[in-house]
Structure 1
Amino acid sequence: MGVGGNFWDLLKPYARSEGFDFLREKRVAVDLSYWIVQNETAIKGQALNPHIRLIFFRTINLFSKFGAYPVFVVDGTPSHLKSQARIKRYFRASGVDMSSLPVPKDGISVERNKAFQKSVKECIEFLQLLGMPVLRAEGEAEALCAQLNREGHVDACITADSDAFLFGAKCVIKHIRPNSKDPLECYLMSDIEAGLGLKRKHLIAISLLVGSDHDLNGIQGIGVDKAIRFLKPFSEEEVLNRLLQVGRGENILLSGDINSNSDFVTNVESPKSKLPHCSLCGHPGSKKAHFQTSCEICVSVTGEGCTQKPPGFKCNCARCSLEQEAKEKRKREIWQLKICEKIALEPNFPNSDIIDMYLRDNNGTDDVCDISWKNPDTEMLIDYLAYSQRWEPSYIRKMMLPFMSTLYLRDVASNRSDILLCGQYEFHSIQRIKKRLGHQLYAVKWKRNANAVAGVGLTTPLEPDLHHELGEADESADLLEEPDVPQVYIEDGCWFLLTDEELKLVQNAYPEKVNVFLKEKELKEKKSKGKKTNLESPRGVQLSITEFYRSSKAVGAAKPPSEVEAVESSKNNYGSPGIKRKEKSSISKSVRRRLLFA
């Protein structure tokens, strides 16, 4: 999707792996169509309404686990360019000869199929119930995502369309892998510019040469590598104008001094005369002269004369270097002329409509500055999901709890209000610090208020043992699909929840509670260290390793032999040839006999 010719492989070396905190407290634009297509491809036929199910789980995780503020963008009316490309792609995949088909007229656009449009509409309705902002682009969703990123309304875009960079995106997140310590695969335009030396207009020119979603053909015989080699010497300001000149049939060479094949033949500088080189050593001079007086370059101490040149030897004298540079220049310019000829053969190249589309400043609504997030309509959401997914309300409440707790902590940090979580639960304490994939979290304990009144939250308490029904499947391999399930239990007749919350989020909402927890944790660590020190060294003096871990060999050597061992030793050594006789035992014979037969 996006630019053709394996464009993502070109950008792969400049990808960054970012951690869970990269998007925390940041706005991120999400290409909704990309999520729908990706999710339906992954679990299509395995779950009821997969687009609703996976948008639900992914939005909750993006909001709670990653701490981001998502802004969803949907496609508008596709341009006639993409409609034509879509028709060509369909017939090409079907094996139909496209030469016999009528050419679509400009200005005619083809909408997506009705099933996909229905899925998009349902997702929009669901996201609005969840309180998420949804924007509609005039054309491509990735174009509006890029505009929001370029103008600073969002900090990143989540899309797999590589042409987001051509629309002006600065930060694109292609993949999210939650089961990794660095779950985000992020691409920064600044890294691409520094690594490849290519800027936005260079990327637009590459797409014109290799093809894209708006022009499947491009220029035959030109791939990404050739396009970069041809375009890189041009500056960003002149690269598109140079393509326009080449498209009109002008052979613009990068050296700037040759404009046609005839000029090329007459203007190439070549050395006036070629110096003779010795066939033996390869250095300047004749072989006959080198026999009379040895070559200055390879003269030897013994006076044996020139030495035989090794295989593949190349002379590095000034005249030979000029010849080599002239050959390389001639070869490079011939290659450039061939590329210019290929481009000139393509009619109506470059397509000015594609260039204008990529450089367009406004790709969506004018009220993008009014992006806001609202409180979810939880009861409507429960009814909606219970009907569309056939889930039990208790399961829906449990899955929504990470979303609700994140929203609650943010409200407390900003408003310092006395509201309860889901209208029922109050902050009780911090149990401990958890580490998940190298990321630290607080395990927060919530207690159900005895005087809780059903309000804006979940109007019924969660149950300790919950079951749910999924249409056909209830498991997914992608951890981004399902949020962390909170623990629900009863202790001393009170209901408690245990959720995993971000450290900074809890710190901002309840700084006093966090300080108390950290002090108690520090005291416990000091006490445990003190006990350990007392056990290891009662006098407070650190023991050496030889004193602490005494050698078993030394102990065994120092231990005197037992009486039985002494008797056996004396018995075996008497009369044994070649073995030194040990000293006679001081134990009497009668005592030794009793010990032997005891």
Structure 2
Amino acid sequence: MGVGGNFWDLLRPYAQQQGFDFLRNKRVAVDLSFWIVQHETAVKGFVLKPHLRLTFFRTINLFSKFGAYPVFVVDGTPSPLKSQARISRFFRSSGIDTCNLPVIKDGVSVERNKLFSEWVRECVELLELLGIPVLKANGEAEALCAQLNSQGFVDACITPDSDAFLFGAMCVIKDIKPNSREPFECYHMSHIESGLGLKRKHLIAISLLVGNDYDSGGVLGIGVDKALRIVREFSEDQVLERLQDIGNGLQPAVPGGIKSGDDGEEFRSEMKKRSPHCSRCGHLGSKRTHFKSSCEHCGCDSGCIKKPLGFRCECSFCSKDRDLREQKKTNDWWIKVCDKIALAPEFPNRKIIELYLSDGLMTGDGSSMSWGTPDTGILVDLMVFKLHWDPSYVRKMLLPMLSTIYLREKARNNTGYALLCDQYEFHSIKCIKTRYGHQSFVIRWRKPKSTSGYSHSHSEPEESIVVLEEEEEVVEEEESVDPLDGLNEPQVQNDNGDCFLLTDECIGLVQSAFPDETEHFLHEKKLRESKKKNVSEEEIATPRATTMGVQRSITDFYRSAKKAAAGQSIETGGSSKASAEKKRQATSTSSSNLTKSVRRRLLFG
């Protein structure tokens, strides 16, 4: 939950949508309870153990696709304050009258239900087999995530609880959408400070007023907007002390308000003696005076001009009167707000403030976090037993994580080891793949050839530089978001009897691990593109010649009768023209000897 009163809506203008490489090579703390609750509610009943499925897929996505180093944090024993708030929240959501709310004894914490604890235990077992570090908090998981972030052990926190900022978080990722161009919804504390002018203690003060995980009710009648207006009047060092004074019934001096009642009474007596104002133009002087002699403020020769709608007189008396009214309005607002705060029982709760400002939330040293290699054998057995998956499917889904570990080790130490139980090794770069606007290499992995009874752990240099000229850049269409955050299965390719596994890898990581192969691939790709460009330019410049595959006209093989007739007419052109001319002249001569009526009868019958 975090801070109540639609607190996220207050911070949303300062959210940033980050791309795929935002978490690459960064450490990130993950609130495990958030993942379990989120997808156990969304897909419950559709799949077997959705919390395990989600944790498996999302962890591999974070590690391989986004290149992050995740650290998972689980809740410890909750505070007794949160136990009471949790029961109150359950009563309200169930429609039960909170008057019958049971009272928790001081110092007694209510643990989560056994089913949820079992889900957490299964996810922790899975993460440990994946080689991912898991930390247990003394209290809230988001509190430990924030502490790790503020002390520099991690670069960001993944949690939907807005009170992570109250615990000191500097960068919070509220939501992850793996199948999108900008998968991370990120909030930076520096942007919130510059935009709203609020710091950590200001946010704590707002949570005390509107409600939080430890006091879900807050102060009755105060929402986020009122709380924001209150805390902005005080500095970070003073805001909690001023709230303490208001809770004790003391009204602090209101900035910009009336400092004393005597000043107001003195001014009211002066207002009674002020000069009259014209009812027509609103300026100093009476209406009768302005008709006799023109108004000096209106600027007309005679009389005055009717005042426009919304006219405000700017004389000293009117300006001071407006200031007095505004100050009185502000003063009355503060009096009402202070009365509401004073009526709240035990406000502010010092225990809640101490919880938010406490730093003793971590068991052990955060610098001891380390990432290991997945225990493939036991992990396969676990997923087969828990989710009834096929062992080959589990190994295939693990391949992106194993290949990422392989490439990181290769880039760090320039040494590598065979992938997936010494079965597959790096072979070549197949092509460049673009998905959701993000480019990656498609890498071929194959089993090394056995010679003399043993397998090579590395492919030969000349074999690793293999680029197929027919391969083109692959652009995948965007798909709908998978509610289970499933992975793209590695593809299997058969080429001349060799079996290859294809995975998508980060271009920068492959370049660091195999610089020569990457340079050769990019060079060949550039040559292919230039060659294709030259061929297309030649095709445009020269028309395509007739080929045997195109049907030709029959006139290419046989002489046309029309052409022959045309040839004969050309040969006898002179004589035919002469005879035609004689015939025309004879006709015209004979026709000229006839009368007009005879010619008409001959013509029309």
* Length-normalised TM-score, structure 1: 0.83
Instruction: Check if 1:154 corresponds to 2:154.
Output: yes
CA deviation after TM superposition for structure 1 residue 90, in Å:
2.0
Q: CA deviation at 1:34?
A: 0.5
Structure 2 match to 1:163? 163
Q: Root-mean-square deviation (CA), in Å?
A: 2.5
Shift of 1:486: 1.2
Asked if 1:425 corresponds to 2:413, the answer is no
SS of 2:12 mapped into structure 1: helix
CA, structure 1 residues 258+325, in 2 after alignment: closer, same or farther (shift >3 Å)?
closer
Give the drift of 1:318: 3.3
In the alignment, which residue of structure 1 is the partner of 2:313?
A: 315
2:318 partner amino acid: C
Contact 2:177 2:481 in 1 (8 A): no
Aligned to 2:369: 371
Q: Secondary structure at the match of 1:488?
A: strand
- Say which SS state the counterpart of residue 279 (structure 2) adopts: coil
Residue type of the partner of 1:442? F
Mapped partners of 1:14, 1:49: distance in 2:
36
**Match among 350, 353, 356 for residue 352 of structure 1:** 350
Deviations 1:299-324 (A, max 9, x none): 23xx3431111222222233322221
Structure 1 pair 24–418 and aligned structure 2 pair: CA distance change class (3 A): closer
Q: Which amino acid aligns with 1:400?
A: L
Give the Å deviation of 1:233: 1.4
Residue pairs, 1:80-229, within 5 angstroms: 80-229=80-229
Cross-structure match for 1:525: 529
Query: How does 1:440-455 map onto structure 2 within 5 Å?
Result: 440-451=439-450
Q: State the 1:127 CA deviation.
A: 0.4
Q: Distance in 2 between matches of 1:149 and 1:454?
A: 45
3-state DSSP class of the match of 2:411? helix
> Normalised by the size of structure 2, how large is the TM-score?
0.82
Cα distance, 1:373 vs structure 2: 0.2
CA 1:269 to 1:31, structure 2 compared with 1: closer, same or farther past 3 Å?
farther
1:270 aligns with 2:267: yes
**Farther off after superposition, 530-539 or 392-401:** 530-539
| Range moving further from structure 2, 415-424 or 128-137 | 415-424
SS in 2 for 1:73: strand
Alignment correspondent of 2:497: 493
1:77–1:454 CA distance, 2 compared to 1 (3 A): farther
Q: 1:257 to 1:316 in 2, by over 3 A?
A: closer
**C-alpha offsets along residues 39-85 of structure 1, whole Å, 9 cap, x if unaligned?**
10111111111111110011011111111100000000000000011
Q: 2:293 touches 2:303 (CA, 8 Å); kept in 1? A: yes
The 3 A distance-change label for structure 1 pair 482 and 212 is: same
Q: Distance in 1 between matches of 2:43 and 2:110?
A: 27
1:18-57 to structure 2, matched below 5 A, reads: 18-57=18-57
**Contact kept in structure 1, 2:132 and 2:371, CA below 8 Å:** yes
Instruction: Extract unaligned runs of 5+ from structure 1.
Output: 457-474, 540-562, 564-584, 590-598
Which residue is equivalent to 1:482?
486
Q: Does residue 508 of the first structure (1) align with residue 512 of the second (2)? A: yes
CA deviation profile, 1:357-394 (whole Å, cap 9, x unmatched): 00001211132110100001001100000010000011
Report the AA paired with residue 270 of structure 1: F
Tell whether the 8 Å contact from 1:75 to 1:138 is kept in structure 2 after alignment. Answer: yes
Deviation at 1:432, TM superposition (A): 1.6
- Cα distance 1:231–1:219, how it changes in 2: closer, same or farther (>3 A)? same
User: 2:414 matched to which residue of 1?
Assistant: 416
In structure 1, the residue corresponding to 2:267 is in which secondary structure?
coil
Q: 1:101 to 1:522 in 2, by over 3 A?
A: closer
**Deviation by residue 1:209-264 (Cα, 9 ceiling, x = unmatched):** 111110011110000000111111100000000001111110113328868xxx54
Secondary structure (helix, strand or coil) at the match of 2:28 reads strand
Within 2, Cα distance between the matches of 1:534 and 1:503?
A: 33
Once superposed, which parts of structure 1, at least 4 consecutive aligned residues long, lie more than 6 Å away?
A: 256-259, 452-456
Q: CA deviation at 1:15?
A: 0.6
Give the paired residue count.
522
| Counterpart Cα distance in 1 of 2:384 and 2:345 | 56
Cα–Cα, structure 1 residues 531 and 94, in superposed 2: closer, same or farther, change >3 Å? closer
Q: How many angstroms does 1:199 deviate by?
A: 0.8
Secondary structure of 1:178's match? coil
1:549 corresponding residue in structure 2: none
Please name the residue that 2:595 is paired with.
none
Matched residue, 1:239 = 239
- 1:584-595 aligned at under 5 Å gives the runs none
Deviates more, 1:478-487 or 1:195-204: 478-487
Amino acid at match of 1:6: N
Tell me the alpha carbon deviations over residues 277-299 of structure 1, each in whole angstroms, 9 at most, x when there is no partner.
11111112211221122222222
- Within a 5 Å distance, the mapping from 1:276-291 to structure 2 comes to 276-291=276-291
> Cα 1:389–1:419, aligned 2, differ >3 Å: closer, same or farther?
same
1:438 is the counterpart of 2:442: no
- The corresponding residue for 2:568 is none
Equivalent pair of 1:488/1:498 in contact (CA under 8 Å): yes
User: Is the contact between residue 442 and residue 502 of structure 1 (CA under 8 Å) also seen in structure 2?
Assistant: yes
1:368–1:13 CA distance, 2 compared to 1 (3 A): same
What amino acid is aligned across from residue 294 of structure 1 in structure 2?
S
Distance change (3 Å), C-alpha of 1:256 and 1:320: closer
Give the direction of change, closer, same or farther, for the CA distance of 1:234–1:287 in structure 2 (3 Å limit).
same
Q: How does 1:57-72 map to 2 (within 5 A)?
A: 57-72=57-72
Query: Mean Cα displacement is larger for which, 422-431 or 59-68?
Result: 422-431
Query: Contact 1:29/1:72 (CA < 8 Å) preserved in 2?
Result: yes
1:278 counterpart letter in structure 2:
C
Q: Partners in 1 of 2:302 and 2:247 — Cα distance?
A: 63
Partners of 1:309 and 1:174 lie apart in 2 by 55
1:403–1:267 CA distance, 2 compared to 1 (3 A): same
- CA 1:101–1:429 in structure 2 vs 1: closer, same or farther (change >3 Å)? closer
- Contact 2:76 2:139 (C-alpha < 8 Å) held by counterparts: yes
Q: How far off is 1:101 after superposition?
A: 4.2
Q: Which residue in the other structure is 1:571 paired with?
A: none
Q: Which residue of 2 aligns with 1:543?
A: none
Structure 1 position 529, deviation (Å): 2.2
CA contact (8 A) 1:424 1:454 kept: no
Change (3 A) 1:418 1:142: closer
Please state whether the residue corresponding to 1:270 is helix, strand or coil.
Answer: helix
Counterpart Cα distance in 2 of 1:323 and 1:92: 48
In the alignment, residue 506 of structure 1 is paired with which amino acid? V
What is the one-letter code of the residue matched to 1:399? M
Q: Is the 8 A contact 1:243 1:350 kept in 2?
A: yes
Q: What is the DSSP-based 3-state SS (H/G/I as helix, E as strand, rest coil) of the residue aligned with 1:5?
A: coil
Please give the alpha-carbon distance, in whole angstroms, between the structure 2 residues aligned to 1:171 and 1:194. Answer: 14
Whether the 8 Å CA contact 1:20–1:439 is kept in 2: the answer is: yes
2:336 paired with 1:338 = yes
- Counterpart CA distance in 1 for 2:100 and 2:492 is 66
Question: Which whole-Å CA distance do the structure 2 matches of 1:428 and 1:455 have between them?
Answer: 12
Contact 1:15 1:186 in 2 (8 A): yes
State the one-letter code of the partner of 2:408.
Answer: R
Paired residue secondary structure (1:46): coil
Asked if 1 retains the 8 angstrom alpha-carbon contact of 2:409 and 2:416, the reply is: no
Which stretches in structure 2 are left out of the alignment for 5+ residues? 458-478, 544-561, 563-576, 582-605
Aligned-pair CA distance for 1:477: 4.8
Letter in 2 for 1:253: A
Change (3 A) 1:128 1:269: farther
Separation of aligned partners in 1, 2:6 and 2:59: 30
Deviations 1:499-531 (A, max 9, x none): 111111111110111100111111112222222
